[in-house]
């Protein structure tokens, strides 16, 4: 017969095993995020450090903005995620879909009203700019394109990629960047539609998922993407990557975070959002080469790796809410006039 001490020990082991089997062991100690790829803007380190500080497990997630919103809508009656990260153009859509819940983190009042929902459904955590990223080794003797006009040159045929603009925030932002830089507006997409009709003569590829690995390998020698992805490849992976802010101009790309409505681990979701806006969280994001909302969190060492401020004077803001509102009409034109070519 087991002694009382051994019986208690055996019972404790059995309880622990049963807890693992039924999935109870992580109850209250995890937070589920959507659209937080490990290699995107340093999300891997951000969530790792959050876990170290709080003990809350926070796995990375590889969805893009469009896929994340689609998942939140599908799961609305029984949410699986606690926090979502989206390109700002998806903020109003998430609000309209009723998948976010108001939460005003400690830094909320310091964010410009154009970069957040006033009720606290979402707020911008950092931003980048649309750029031309080029793998100089893969280009060989070809020059690095410096403008939107340069990309139309037939010498770049088969060498250009951009994320699908009907699904990924970066892709949609890139089409808006072209439209704004070449004289279009959010009321008229003729400029960008005509541009991409011409660009597609160079056999552009439009992947659904982040394609920086293909840029790094030279499979896509030129990627129209976010500047921070280019800097990450250049400085963190020692890649032969050049970042170019197009001569005609470009747009900024803010990214937002929001608490999922009726999230299963809502308090942990709030704790994560607080961490993202803390000095530590903002500094970690800046190491992913995005510009944090708290500008003082970016060290001079990181800032010195960016292109000169004079280049970024060509990166402009747009009416983000309107950009969201007109996305469906853009998607319809893209599908019929670009994909249907």
pLDDT digits (tens, 9 = 90+) for 128-174: 999 999 999 999 999 999 999 999 999 999 999 999 999 888 999 99
Range 13-29 average pLDDT = 42
> What digits encode the pLDDT tens for the residues 221-232?
999 999 999 999
Tell me if residue 268 falls in helix, strand or coil. Answer: helix
Give yes or no for a contact between 223 and 215, defined as CB atoms under 8 angstroms apart.
yes
SS3 sequence of 103-139: CCCCCHHHCCHHHECCCCCCEEEEEEEEEEEEEHHHH
Give yes or no for a contact between 103 and 202, defined as CB atoms under 8 angstroms apart.
no
| Pairwise pLDDT comparison (241 vs 8), residue with the higher score | 241
The answer on pLDDT for 20 being more than 50 is no
Which residue, chain included where needed, has tokens 């404790």?
Answer: 12
pLDDT of residue 15: 36
Range 69-78 average pLDDT = 97
pLDDT level of residue 28 (50, 70, 90 thresholds)? low
Range 168-187 average pLDDT = 95
Percent pLDDT > 90 in the chain is 86
The answer on pLDDT for 14 being more than 60 is no
pLDDT of residue 167: 86
Walk me through the domains of the chain, giving residue ranges and CATH numbers.
30-126+253-303 (3.40.190.10), 128-252+316-338 (3.40.190.10)
> What digits encode the pLDDT tens for the residues 267-319?
999 999 999 999 999 999 999 999 999 999 999 999 999 999 999 999 999 99
Q: What is the CA radius of gyration of the chain?
A: 22
The answer on pLDDT for 6 being more than 90 is no
pLDDT of residue 89: 87
The answer on pLDDT for 178 being more than 80 is yes
Tell me if residue 338 falls in helix, strand or coil. Answer: helix
Cα(111)–Cα(89) distance, rounded to whole angstroms? 17
Q: The pTM is what?
A: 0.84
């Amino acid at each position: 017969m087991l002694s009382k001490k051994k019986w208690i020990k055996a019972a404790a082991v059995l309880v622990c095993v049963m807890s693992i089997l039924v999935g109870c062991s992580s109850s209250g100690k995890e937070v589920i995020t959507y659209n937080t790829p490990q290699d995107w803007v340093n999300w891997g380190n951000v969530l790792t450090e959050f876990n170290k500080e709080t003990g809350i497990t926070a796995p990375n997630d590889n969805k893009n903005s469009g896929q994340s919103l689609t998942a939140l809508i599908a799961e609305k009656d029984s949410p699986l995620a606690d926090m979502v990260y989206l390109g700002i153009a998806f903020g109003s859509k998430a609000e309209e879909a009723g998948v976010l819940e108001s939460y005003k983190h400690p830094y909320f009042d310091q964010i410009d009203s154009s970069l957040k929902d006033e009720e606290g459904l979402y707020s911008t955590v950092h931003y980048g700019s649309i750029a031309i990223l080029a793998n100089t080794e893969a280009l060989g003797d070809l020059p690095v394109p410096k403008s939107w006009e340069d990309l139309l040159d037939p010498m770049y045929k088969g060498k250009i990629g951009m994320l699908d603009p009907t699904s990924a925030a970066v892709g949609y932002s890139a089409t808006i960047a072209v439209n704004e830089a070449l004289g279009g507006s959010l009321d008229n997409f003729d400029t960008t539609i005509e541009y991409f009709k011409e660009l597609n003569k160079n056999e552009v590829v439009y992947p659904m998922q982040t394609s920086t690995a293909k840029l790094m390998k030279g499979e896509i020698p030129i990627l129209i993407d976010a500047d921070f992805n280019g800097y990450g490849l250049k400085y963190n992976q020692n890649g032969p990557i050049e970042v170019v802010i197009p001569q005609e101009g470009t747009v900024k790309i803010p990214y937002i975070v929001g608490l999922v409505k009726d999230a299963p681990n809502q308090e942990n979701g709030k704790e994560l959002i607080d961490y993202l806006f803390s000095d530590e969280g903002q500094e970690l994001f800046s190491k992913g080469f995005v510009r944090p909302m708290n500008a003082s969190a970016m060290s001079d060492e990181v800032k010195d790796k960016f292109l000169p401020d004079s280049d970024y004077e060509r990166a402009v803001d747009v009416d983000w809410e309107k950009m969201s509102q007109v996305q469906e009409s853009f998607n319809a034109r893209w599908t019929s006039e670009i994909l249907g070519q």
